[in-house]
């Protein structure tokens, strides 16, 4: 079980969509925010079916078994430095960041020295915290449209079976999402490239919610 | 129209599958091989519905409007050096290579300095020859099983609209394949990562033909 879930960046489109969909599925959700007062206003405006708590980043992490990292990739380093000491025993971090840049109007993945955002996170996260990836290829806009069927596959990778299982359990709570375990954390390189490809397809085909299904499993 | 199509590496699983499926669709196919005599035996054993020609690499390229590059990535440099001068006017090369390595039992993409196999090919190919990518994410084993329905999407990218259109026209001849144009050649980085992900899924889920569909277009 995922236990209490903290969502850092939980008032953004992606984090907010996850927070509301997980709450709808019966999960105890805490939105972690840099500005809890403003976050509380946003959360109240959702009129969620189940109360969603709000805390600062460190407080949210400390109270959760599973933490979802849904801040922009640029904010990851500062955030991880601040929350590192606060993770509970057996905590798992679920990274959903993708280092996309639109510099000069051209969409590209930022060249992350470790190979992927997930591996970059691993290099900073305390070793005792398990790390998995999920929700990287599902369009934020679709997540935030609570009534929209997700209707796609979600790729899970991670640094241990336990971390992957935790992320898969979260994803399994969202109707219309099939989880596909793709193995070790290094596979995040490919998963993040799929996000880039989905964005390229959106732009080229003038759609908004391109996403993927695996055929043959 | 794709015109006469040369398939370099046309006796391998991937090239052979493409050769036979395209011939079945009514295309004039020339298999280009390092060893035309042996290739001729292989091609005769196919008992194709339509005759498939055989030539050496240079001869196949010279006779074709569209050339499919289906040799192992390790052979690409030597091959391109040999065939460069032989391309016809308005020729297009369709690159299907993916630089996968299984060194030490771990599957990974080779770190190609140009960013992808396709961009590596572009760096060597004569400028007057257009370059597109296709058939990178479709399992070779499935292509070679002529009666198996392909039932997936195929990602096309390339360095010009004309090159992409040529590759898409080829792919459109294979029933069960929907083409998805993802734009410029740099997108090959993501397409090749999808191949890596499909192989990871095959290995992890003990299947053989994992492939992709795009939802939302």
Widest CA span in chain B: 48
Instruction: Collapse the DSSP code of B148 into the 3-class scheme (helix H, G, I; strand E, B; otherwise coil) and give the result.
Output: coil
* Of residues A187, A190, A214, nearest to B210 (C-beta): A214
Residue A172 to residue B136: CA distance in whole angstroms: 30
pTM listed for this prediction: 0.96
| Short-list A45, A30, A67, CA closest to A144 | A45
pLDDT 10s digits, B103-128: 998 999 999 999 999 999 999 999 99
A57 alpha carbon, distance to own chain's centre: 15
| Short-list A37, A112, A127, A104, CA closest to A77 | A112
Decide if B184 contacts B156 (C-beta within 8 A): no
* Of residues B193, B201, B208, nearest to A189 (C-beta): B193
Residue B135 to residue B147: CA distance in whole angstroms: 17
pLDDT 10s digits, A26-85: 999 999 999 999 999 999 999 877 899 999 999 999 999 999 999 999 999 999 999 999
Q: Are B216 and A208 within 8 A, CB to CB?
A: yes
Domain A5-205 listed as CATH 3.40.50.720: yes
Instruction: Collapse the DSSP code of B16 into the 3-class scheme (helix H, G, I; strand E, B; otherwise coil) and give the result.
Output: helix
For residue B17, give both structure tokens.
């599958």
Using the Cα atoms of residue A193, residue A194, residue A195 and residue A197 in order, give the sign of their dihedral.
positive
| Contact residues, chain A, for B214 at CB < 8 Å | 198, 201, 210-212
For residue A115, give both structure tokens.
């190979």
For residue B126, give both structure tokens.
């004569």
ipTM of the modeled complex: 0.94
Q: In chain A, what are the domain boundaries?
A: 5-205
pLDDT 10s digits, A112-124: 999 999 999 999 9
Q: How many CB atoms lie within 10 A of CB B25?
A: 16
Q: Are B155 and A197 within 8 A, CB to CB?
A: yes
Rounded mean pLDDT of A130-146?
A: 96
Is the predicted pLDDT of residue B150 greater than 80, yes or no?
yes
């Amino acid at each position: 079980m995922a236990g209490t879930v903290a969502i850092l960046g939980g008032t953004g489109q992606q984090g907010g969509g996850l927070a509301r969909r997980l709450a709808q599925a019966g999960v105890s959700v805490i939105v972690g925010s840099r500005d809890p007062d403003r976050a509380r206003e946003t959360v109240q405006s959702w009129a969620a079916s189940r109360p969603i708590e709000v805390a600062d980043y460190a407080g949210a992490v400390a109270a959760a078994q599973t933490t979802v990292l849904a801040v922009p990739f640029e904010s990851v380093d500062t955030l991880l430095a601040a929350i590192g000491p606060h993770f509970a025993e057996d905590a798992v971090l679920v990274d959903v960041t993708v280092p996309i840049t639109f510099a000069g109007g051209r969409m590209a993945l930022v060249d992350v020295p470790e190979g992927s955002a997930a591996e970059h996170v691993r290099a900073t996260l305390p070793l005792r915290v398990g790390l998995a990836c999920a929700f990287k290829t599902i369009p934020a806009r679709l997540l935030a449209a609570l009534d929209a069927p997700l209707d796609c596959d979600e790729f899970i990778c991670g640094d241990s079976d336990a971390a992957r299982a935790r992320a898969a359990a979260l994803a399994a709570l969202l109707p219309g999402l099939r989880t596909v375990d793709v193995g070790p954390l290094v596979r995040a390189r490919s998963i993040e490239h799929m996000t880039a490809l989905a964005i390229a397809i959106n732009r080229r085909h003038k759609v908004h919610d391109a996403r993927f299904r695996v055929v043959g499993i």
